[in-house]
Amino acid sequence: MTHAPTDLVGTSVGPYRLERLLGQGGFAWVFAGRDADGTPVAVKLLKPRYAGDPQFETRFRNEAELAAKLRHPRIIPIRAVARAGGDVYFAMELCPDSLGARIERDGPLPEAEIARIAREVAEGLQFAHGEGVIHRDLKPDNILLRADGSAVITDFGIARTRSGYVASTGVNMTIGTPQYLSPEQAQGRTLDQRLDFYALGITLFKAATGELPFRSSDWFELARLHVEQPPPSLRRKRPELSKRLERVVRKCLAKHPNDRYRDATELLADLAAVEAHRRAATAARATPLGTRAWRAVRSAAEQAPWEWVVGAGVLLVALVVLVIKLLR
Ligand SMILES: Nc1ncnc2c1ncn2[C@@H]1O[C@H](COP(=O)(O)OP(=O)(O)OP(=O)(O)O)[C@@H](O)[C@H]1O
Ligand SMILES: [Mg+2]
């Protein structure tokens, strides 16, 4: 029986050859590999201790099959969900990078990139929510980046169809990653799609500052912070960020779901405004001030009718004569 994931490098699961370990999460290993026809793939393989648990295996496979039905440019395409011998796995598109790795490597991202990635993720959520699927574990490691830098959401791994979900309590409540857990998840309350906006808010805060808004090594303390503590100001940490972006993040991080975005469409509208203002500000900066001032004068002159110009001249002369007379 295999205990170390590295032992599996060079072997095959089903038709896939495993070439390199990419990482591991709570219950699975992820490998870069190749399909029989040579196409690069990522293979997410259930750790043996979970693959031996029929209940866990069924849940993993059901959730992967549910995720495989979500076909959208901003959601990772799943090629196959299968069991081969004792291996339980699914194969998906291989991405060269993730938002988590990018932040780790480069630190805080420029605002233009944060806004673009937020928009792309919101587009994926808009589609999934429309299909009745909530992600429930959105975080930088579950936002992959393609070679062109575009974002694609992975791991609807603990997603549930909205209609089928019953709010859980006790041990089951701890599903998800505690740093990104919404207040309603932390409290075991009824959940809906708006919990994904909270996790996106934490993700954007991390992308903008390199830090998490709430930190504690104690799960219960962390849960308390999510429920009670207002998030730190984004612009106090990075004053060059726009107020618009800060407002989006703050709205995502509202404690009560009613104070967050109602749906991804509403979020996308605000993100479009952030991007539009950024573009306008960048264009204005790209034009030298001298050129801008000259253009303004020229366009004013072009638009001014002659009567106005003559009238203004006469008025000016009269004013000068009056001043001279008064001074005498
Ligand atoms: N399709 C993929 N292409 C490239 N890297 C991937 C792919 N899928 C996952 N990864 C990377 O593999 C690593 C392990 O992923 P995994 O989903 O097992 O854990 P996680 O997302 O960190 O935590 P969790 O268990 O909560 O999902 C992550 O760093 C992730 O970014
Ligand atoms: Mg993951």
Residues 216 and 278 in one domain: yes
| CA 242 – ligand 2 centroid, Å | 30
Per-residue pLDDT, 237: 95
pLDDT tens readout for residues 264-280: 999 999 999 999 998 88
Residues 169 and 239 in one domain: yes
Residues 86 and 212 in one domain: no
Residues with CB under 6 A from ligand 1: 22-26, 28, 30, 42, 76, 92-95, 98, 100, 137, 141-142, 144, 154-155, 157, 177
Closest to 113 measured CA to CA, from 218, 208, 178, 29: 208
With 90 as the cut, is the pLDDT of residue 169 above it?
no
| CA 155 – ligand 2 centroid, Å | 5
Residues 212 and 259 in one domain: yes
137 is an active site residue? yes
Helix (H) or strand (E) holding 296: helix 289-303
Closest to 114 measured CA to CA, from 102, 105, 125: 102
Residues 163 and 107 in one domain: yes
Of 55, 77, 93, the last residue of a domain is 93
Residues 159 and 270 in one domain: yes
Residues 155 and 175 in one domain: yes
pTM of the model: 0.84
pLDDT tens readout for residues 124-155: 999 999 999 999 999 999 999 999 999 999 99
**How many H-runs (helices) and E-runs (strands) does the chain carry?**
12, 11
- Token pair belonging to 7: 């032992």
Tell me the average pLDDT across 221-239.
96
| CA 72 – ligand 1 centroid, Å | 19
From the candidates 137, 141, 196, 270, which is the catalytic residue?
Answer: 137
With 70 as the cut, is the pLDDT of residue 308 above it?
no
Q: Among all ligands shown, which has an atom nearest to the Cα of 136? A: 1
Q: Among all ligands shown, which has an atom nearest to the Cα of 95? A: 1
Q: What strands, in cross-sheet order, belong to the sheet with 16-24?
A: 12-13, 16-24, 28-34, 40-46, 87-93, 78-84
Of 93, 117, 144, the last residue of a domain is 93
Residues 268 and 297 in one domain: no
d(CA 16, CA 295): 62
Of 36, 59, 93, the last residue of a domain is 93
Three-state helix/strand/coil letters over 205-266: HHHHHCCCCCCCCCHHHHHHHHHHCCCCCHHHHCCCCCHHHHHHHHHHCCCCHHHCCCCHHH
Residues 280 and 297 in one domain: no
Whole-number mean pLDDT of the chain? 87
Three-state helix/strand/coil letters over 167-200: CCCHHHHHCCCHHHCCHHHHCCCCCCCHHHHHHH
Instruction: Specify the residue with its C-alpha closest to ligand 1, atom 9.
Output: 30
Residues 101 and 166 in one domain: yes
pLDDT tens readout for residues 279-295: 888 888 876 655 555 55
> Residue 49 sits in a domain of what CATH number?
3.30.200.20
Residues 44 and 134 in one domain: no
- Distance in angstroms between the alpha carbons of the first and the last residue of the chain: 110
Find the domain containing 306 and state its range.
287-327
Residues 107 and 43 in one domain: no
- Pocket probe for ligand 1: among 154, 179, 181, the residue whose CB has the most ligand atoms within 8 Å is 154
> Residue 226 sits in a domain of what CATH number?
1.10.510.10
Q: Among all ligands shown, which has an atom nearest to the Cα of 26? A: 1
Number of domains forming the structure of the chain: 3
